[in-house]
Amino acid sequence: MTGTDTHDTDTTEPSGYAAARLRLLTEDARPGPHRRTALADLTDAWLAALFTAAGPEPRGVSLVAVGGYGRGELSPRSDLDLLLLHDGGDSEAVAALADRLWYPVWDLGLALDHSVRTSAEARRTAADDLKVQLGLLDARHLAGDLGLTTALRTTVLADWRNLAPRRLPELRDLCAGRAARQGELRYLLEPDLKEARGGLRDATALRAVAASWLADAPREGLADARRHLLDVRDALHLATGRATDRLALQEQDQVAARLGLLDADALLRQVYEAAGVITYASDVTWREVGRVLRSRAARPTLRTLLGGRRTTERTPLAEGVVEQDGEAVLARTARPERDPVLPLRAAAAAAQAGLPLSRHAVRHLAATAPPLPAPWPAEAREQLVTLLGSGPPAVDVWEALDAEGLVSRLLPDWERVRCRPQRNAVHVWTVDRHLVETAVRASALTRRVHRPDLLLVAALLHDIGKGWPGDHAVAGEVIAKDMAARLGFDGPDVAVVSTLVRHHLLLVETATRRDLDDPATVRAVADAVGSPGTLELLHALTEADALATGPAAWSAWRASLVTELVHRVAAVLAGDPPADPEEAAPTTEQERLAVEAAATGGPVLALRTRPEPPSAAEGAGPEPLGVELLVAVPDQPGVLPAVAGVLALHRLTVRTAGLRTVGLPDGVDGSVLLLDWRVAAEYGSLPQAARLRADLVRALDGGLRVAGRLAERDAAHPRRPGRTAPPPRVTVAPAASRHATVIEVRAQDAPGLLYRIGRALEDAGVRVRSAHVSTLGANAVDAFYVTLADGGPLPGDEARAVAGSLEEALRR
């Protein structure tokens, strides 16, 4: 269907145009350029008919499409950007014509961005407003005086080219400011297709740069990338019925279906790939603009004044690689067709020097350099390690290689993780960028390990299994073993790299979800790691991985837990058996609190601030982020939910929770339950210990309705509607401890969650020996060591029944 194929409908009338437009937008065809062109043609014909409806076309007046409509990029809910251009003649006639044009558009409910100006007024407005000038660069004649429109286009383009040295830096700053506000399209789970960096506005900016004749954007793939984003926006408009550019999570499956894609992940991957093309083209283009402007601003040398040619200094960086005009380029003597290591050598030299790698150099290398043999020669492996160890400059260099297909050629399995989205709000990057970011973070930790090369390669490969089905750590172990051998590492080194990839989550998951005082915990980690050298590397990889994931994945608290676990595992690997917590005597303070609780018959509390050590990569001073809360209570049912509920009412976040029965000195009757918890205030200051104790006494004797108070608080501050959280999941961890049964809980974090868990476990008739609470973004990842009343682990069937009842309680 085209814009003129109206099925005998008179599209000069609003009703006829509306009917034809509706048919066009509801036909079965997928969104694409044909539909945008047809919609633009249909709208052109209707507006031209409105222009001439009152009689002969007036002279000295024309109707002009500008902006996106001027480019013919008319999405289903796009604004109509129109300029009524006139020569300053009969103002009443122009105003009447404007009414005949604008009101029918408004009557149909179409969004309209309109203006009425003379050519001189349009030029003055463009000179004052960069966005207006950008819109006029795409001016397209619709009706009326063609000569008037043509004259405006000519003068606007001339103005743009004459003023390019001043206006292009302004445009660059505009793009940078928008990127800072909106983020990068290729990494966002809910991206703005137009405003985010690498989106449609950046593609339009590249057209403007090309129109200036000052510099040009790389054209390969750019038109296709723009078309892909426009297709997605069209499908988004059709799916939502709204003029929106934000690809929200709840609409991605519908949009994918309209585009004939498998699922939302396939949609996001296509969006990310398109955004990557536009982002890379923008980086190259703005770099070229800067080079040209610097060259123009440079004072001419005497040789230039005398008619000689200006020479550009070339500084050697590595064999076959030199620096020129702020970029790493190939030397004139370089022979990439005979040097398969040159791509890696050039990349490493550029990153080490903190320079971008010239696009022309990368393209030449991609076209002429032969593939590396397998296994790689030692120099190639060393150059890869040098590139990865260069820190932040490695990111831009790696992306330059990736844009021209060199990364996938060097590492064939990379293609499976390239632009792959991560459906977890904790992650701020796609899988491929996360791997590079992890290597960047690991580069700051290389002085802590004896084999920095193995650390950097393991960092680059640790999530490589996410491109395959199943557990990514298990799949990644196999892939990493093959890739490390391809890179030329020997057998023992290959084994270390594959072990690091297989267990890259082991330390942080164990430290935050297991009882470090349980000998079985430490022994299991020691058996998995195998050697002190691998443990050292795994410790650094764990920190680099978490820091590269996002702010919610790492903290001083997690760092301290992981460090404590590493120290205990190192002792076991050195031959020292782990201490049995059942044989550990209480500290003097714990014994004092226990005696006082037994004597008073009520809870005794102590709050003690303990600064948390920063991670090595952060290098900051101690942070008083939490306090240690010691509670001694005469042994009785309901202690865990009572304490958890009181802390929730006081808006205290529980980070770890340990519970144990303390033996009393001779002559003191009864038994006391000791709770050693680490807590932090959600906001504000910590409450006084006396207030906590008073509320705890009331909670234990039934005077404080914890459940009711929490429900009242939730009702007073209802949650805003948003994405529906996945249901909670409760499982039993097999063989995690000899002394207790470990029940793991995955749920949406919420105030009072620990209270609800404690209440459900109390109702199930089990005792909680310790709890390990961790929050990743909006997800609670908790583990509870539970026993029977006599202190032994639960039988298998009973453990599964308890887990089932807990999951049902949380679902309710």
Cα–Cα distance, 689 to 445 (Å, whole number): 41
**Which residue has better confidence, 558 or 361?**
361
pLDDT of residue 115: 94
The answer on pLDDT for 478 being more than 50 is yes
DSSP E strand stretches across 314-444:
315-318, 321-324, 327-330
Residues 188 and 334 grouped into a single domain? no
> Taking phi first (over 0 means left), then psi (-120 to 50 degrees means alpha), and beta for anything else, what does residue 407 get?
alpha
Paired tokens of 287: 């770099």
**Would you say residue 8 has pLDDT above 60?**
no
Hey, which bits of 110-172 come out as E strands? 112-118, 140-144
Task: Pick the more confident residue, 441 or 726.
Answer: 441
Same domain, 530 and 472: yes
Residue-level pLDDT at 777: 62
Six token digits for residue 363: 């393209």
Is 60 exceeded by the pLDDT of residue 240?
yes
pLDDT 10s digits, 180-231: 999 999 999 899 999 999 999 999 999 999 999 988 878 788 999 999 999 9
pLDDT mean over 137-152: 94
**Concatenated DSSP letters for 626-694?**
-EEEEEEEES-TTHHHHHHHHHHHTTEEEEEEEEEEEPPPTT--S-EEEEEEEEEESSSPPPPHHHHHH
- Whether residues 199 and 290 fall in one domain: yes
Q: What is the pLDDT of residues 285-303, one digit of tens each?
A: 999 999 899 888 775 554 4
Q: Which of 297, 313, 339 is the last residue of a domain?
A: 297
CATH code at 762?
Answer: 3.30.70.260
Checking if the pLDDT of 436 tops 90, the result is: yes
**Count of structural domains, the chain:** 5
User: Is the same domain home to 133 and 60?
Assistant: yes
Please report whether residue 703 resides in a domain.
Answer: yes
Is residue 13 assigned to a domain?
no
Whether residue 622 has pLDDT greater than 50: no
Contact indicator for 581, 518 with CB cutoff of 8 Å: yes
* Residue where one domain finishes, among candidates 297, 313, 333: 297
Average pLDDT on 131-137 reads 93
pLDDT at position 654 is 81
- Could you tell me if 486 and 707 are in contact, meaning their C-beta atoms sit under 8 angstroms apart? no
The answer on 766 and 662 residing in a single domain is yes
**207 and 338 co-located in one domain:** no
3-class secondary-structure state, position 788: coil
Domain termination site, one of 107, 141, 162: 162
Q: Of 38-52, 261-275, 618-632, which gets the smallest average pLDDT?
A: 618-632
The pLDDT-based confidence of 1 (bands split at 50, 70, 90) is very low
What mean pLDDT is predicted for residues 492-497? 97
Mean pLDDT of 395-412: 94
Determine the pLDDT at residue 306. Answer: 52
| 236 part of a folded domain | yes
The verdict on residue 740 lying in a domain is yes
* pLDDT of 525: 95
Q: Is residue 40 part of a domain?
A: no
Reported confidence tier of residue 234, pLDDT bands at 50, 70, 90: very high
Range of the structural domain that residue 569 is part of: 424-584
Q: What is the mean pLDDT of residues 31-56?
A: 87
Helix (H), strand (E) at residue 729 = strand 729-733
Q: Which residues contact 556 (CB under 8 A, 6 or more apart)?
A: 612, 613, 614, 615, 618, 623, 625
Is 6 part of a structural domain of the chain? Answer: no
Q: What is the mean pLDDT of residues 515-524?
A: 88
Q: Is residue 38 domain-resident?
A: no
Please determine, for residue 756, whether its predicted confidence score (pLDDT) is greater than 70: yes
What's the predicted TM-score (pTM) here? 0.81
89 — phi, psi (to 5°)? -75, -130
Average pLDDT over residues 535-549: 96
The verdict on residue 207 lying in a domain is: yes
What average pLDDT does the structure give for the chain? Answer: 87
Question: For the stretch 265-279, what's the b/e string if a residue is b when 16 or more beta carbons lie within 10 angstroms of its beta carbon?
Answer: bebbbbbbbbbbbbb
Q: Is the pLDDT of residue 749 over 50?
A: yes
Which pLDDT tens digit goes with each residue over 81-101? 999 999 988 888 899 899 999
Cβ atoms within 10 Å of 471's Cβ, excluding its own: 11
Inform me whether the pLDDT recorded for 305 exceeds 90: no
Note whether 395 and 542 are same-domain residues: no
Which residues on adjacent β-strands are paired with residue 140? 65
Domain co-membership, 639 together with 752: yes
Q: What are 263-274's pLDDT values in tens digits?
A: 999 999 999 999
Q: Report the pLDDT value the prediction gives residue 707, as an integer from 0 to 100.
A: 86
Residues 456 and 364 in one domain: no
437 and 494, same structural domain?
yes
pLDDT at 224: 94
pLDDT tens-place string over residues 552-610: 788 888 898 899 999 999 999 988 776 655 556 677 888 888 888 888 888 888 877 65
Residues forming beta bridges with residue 699, ordered by sequence position: none
Torsion of CA 37, 43, 45, 48, to 10 degrees: -130
579 and 626 share a domain?
no
How far apart are alpha carbons 315 and 408 in whole angstroms?
30
CATH at 489: 1.10.3210
CATH code at position 115 = 3.30.460.10
Same domain flag for 580 and 590: no
CATH of the domain at 192: 1.20.120.330
